[in-house]
Chain A
Amino acid sequence: MGKVIVVTSGKGGVGKTTSSAALGAALAKSGDKVVVVDFDVGLRNLDLVMGAERRVVYDLVNVIQGEAKLTQALIRDKRVETLYLLPASQTRDKDNLTPEGVEKVVNALKSVFDWVICDSPAGIERGATLAMRHADVAIVVTNPEVSSVRDSDRIIGLLDSKTLRAENGEHMEKHLLLTRYDSARAERGDMLKVDDVLEILSIPLLGIIPESMDVLRASNLGSPVTLADDRSAPSIAYFEAARRLKGENLPIMIPGEKRGFFGKIFGRKAA
């Protein structure tokens, strides 16, 4: 049985789709079988970021409504053969997602793939709640600024109450992925610092992705950043986050600082 991950944030434009694609590709590159599911029905973007927009025939809504089989809708990536995409529909809206349909699709994917990554739409309505409903693990994508942090806090509350795991009284594993982090601006006080965000959200940190032009460039080329250039700073950060997801214990580096995050904490305590 594979693990179902929801990539969510509440706020739009923080990097859910980019992170879903990058983490999916990074996990697939390590040999795991990965499917990335676009839940943003009506505003689909994941196919563009993954460079598969010209190969979409059937989509998630077709599968849920029984118009196509799951195998017909899945698109295999041309660069990494264990990476698949289940695109969202662009012509329908989120009302076409039914709880029963989503459950059926997620369970079917879980039995075949090692990782099912659900790219949630922004907001806290139907699309977002259905994307998180069947998740085992949640990745909360947050930018270091107040509105994003507050929205993430709201989403964490929903993850603890509206998911199947929470309703069954089980623990919902949650990780924070801090994206678009600019150390210079954080130092100047234009952005929240890592410690501040962690203090407010109080969930474990999965990784810090530095703000970088490489991410935008890769997206425009239709390639997850982890496939476009695996030596760029954001790429390395995503690869490390993927390894942490798989259970590895790696120290977290704050971009732009030589010392590790934990070294920094200890350094401060000794002073």
Chain B
Amino acid sequence: MTAVLTKPRPIRLKGRSYLALTLTPELPIEDWLVRLDELAALSAGFFLRRPVVLDVEGIDLDRTQLRELVGELCTRNVRIMGIEGARTSLLGADLPPAISGGRSTSDIEAPVAEPIKEAAVSESIIRSDPLPIKTTPSIIVTQPVRSGQSLFFPEGDVTVIGSVASGAEIVAGGSIHIYGTLRGRALAGTMGNASARIFCSKLEAELLAIDGFYKTAEDMGPELRGKAVQIWLEGETFKVGSLT
């Protein structure tokens, strides 16, 4: 009778986003490379240590040409981390992986030819705009979330007025608030926010996760079932508090 009970250590599942520079080559490639060289000449090391994604959407390249292009860029110290908009048949093991689902952000500033000489300050009044207040985006769902539906909101908090069915899933970057029964899965703080919490009026969840730490229904105490609770993370352990 020497069974050793080891506490399973949860694996952290985390998402993280990076700002990548996207290069959109144009045909003919030779001319485009010349323009790229001109740009690079303005600022040595502009592409160094920057994640670069190649967007080949809408330009007609075969596999050899694509491989040549990546090679050409490599000789200019531009390392491609992924290729967007290419047919899967184009990409082999020798090419960077396909990448998709990117969202545009503001343009990354390209190096300019000469430093612009600022004109003399014509206005003597120094404007003192207060720093813009940073708000956390949130969404409110007024319908029940049905089985098979997945609500993905990495930007911030999710509030559901209604129940989350068994087999449904809420993934939020911030906290999750459910004014109804939580029967499905709730994953809060998925973008690496350990202070996110999960609130629900009735806990019947299949799975709870905060910042990559998760707990399945089986690991939850039976005394919590059906209760109005909040769940948060303290270090690496889940804490549950009653809401009533």
Stretch at the interface among A22-30, A114-122, A151-159: A151-159
Minimum distance in angstroms from A153 CB to a CB of chain B: 4
B147 touches A150 (CB 8 A): yes
Bin chain B's interface residue count: 10 to 19
Q: Which residues of A sit under 8 angstroms from B162, Cβ to Cβ?
A: 202
Q: Which residues of A sit under 8 angstroms from B144, Cβ to Cβ?
A: 202
Per-position 1/0 for A153-189, Cβ under 8 A of B: 1101110100000000000000000000000000000
B166 touches A150 (CB 8 A): yes
**Count of chain A residues near B, Cβ 8 A:** 13
Within the assembled complex, what's the spacing in Å between the Cα atoms of A156 and B147?
9
Minimum distance in angstroms from B202 CB to a CB of chain A: 10
Q: Give the interface centre of B144, B146, B181 by most chain A CB atoms within 10 Å.
A: B146
Minimum distance in angstroms from A170 CB to a CB of chain B: 15
CB closest residue in chain A, given B162: A202
Within the assembled complex, what's the spacing in Å between the Cα atoms of A146 and B183?
12
Within the assembled complex, what's the spacing in Å between the Cα atoms of A202 and B162?
9
Within the assembled complex, what's the spacing in Å between the Cα atoms of A146 and B144?
18
B149 interface hit (Cβ, 8 Å): yes
Q: Which residues of A sit under 8 angstroms from B147, Cβ to Cβ?
A: 150-151, 153-154, 157
* Contact residues, B142-156 vs A (CB, 8 A): 143-144, 146-149
* Contact residues, A176-212 vs B (CB, 8 A): 199-200, 202
A202 touches B166 (CB 8 A): no
A157 touches B146 (CB 8 A): yes
Within the assembled complex, what's the spacing in Å between the Cα atoms of A150 and B166?
7
Q: Which residues of B sit under 8 angstroms from A156, Cβ to Cβ?
A: 146
Per-position 1/0 for B14-44, Cβ under 8 A of A: 0000000000000000000000000000000
Within the assembled complex, what's the spacing in Å between the Cα atoms of A3 and B146?
26
Within the assembled complex, what's the spacing in Å between the Cα atoms of A154 and B168?
9
B167 interface hit (Cβ, 8 Å): yes
Within the assembled complex, what's the spacing in Å between the Cα atoms of A150 and B148?
9
A153 touches B143 (CB 8 A): no
Q: Give the interface centre of B148, B149, B162, B183 by most chain A CB atoms within 10 Å.
A: B148
Within the assembled complex, what's the spacing in Å between the Cα atoms of A150 and B183?
11
B163 interface hit (Cβ, 8 Å): yes
CB closest residue in chain B, given A124: B148
Q: Give the interface centre of B147, B163, B166, B167 by most chain A CB atoms within 10 Å.
A: B147
Within the assembled complex, what's the spacing in Å between the Cα atoms of A199 and B166?
13
Q: Which residues of B sit under 8 angstroms from A146, Cβ to Cβ?
A: 166
**Residue of B143, B146, B181, B183 touching A154 (CB-CB under 8 A):** B146
Q: Which residues of B sit under 8 angstroms from A154, Cβ to Cβ?
A: 146-148, 167
Q: Which residues of A sit under 8 angstroms from B163, Cβ to Cβ?
A: 199-200, 202
The 30 listed contacts between A and B (C-beta, < 8 Å) are A124-B148, A146-B166, A150-B147, A150-B165, A150-B166, A150-B167, A151-B147, A153-B147, A153-B148, A153-B165, A153-B167, A153-B168, A154-B146, A154-B147, A154-B148, A154-B167, A156-B146, A157-B146, A157-B147, A157-B148, A158-B148, A160-B146, A199-B163, A199-B181, A200-B163, A200-B165, A200-B181, A200-B183, A202-B144, A202-B163
Which residues of chain B have a CB within 8 Å of any CB of chain A?
143-144, 146-149, 162-163, 165-168, 181, 183
Which residues of chain A have a CB within 8 Å of any CB of chain B?
124, 146, 150-151, 153-154, 156-158, 160, 199-200, 202
Minimum-distance CB pairs A-B, first 3 = A157-B146, A153-B147, A154-B147
In the complex, given contacts A153-B167, A154-B147, A156-B146, what are 6 additional A-B residue pairs having Cβ atoms less than 8 angstroms apart? A124-B148, A150-B147, A153-B147, A154-B146, A200-B163, A200-B165
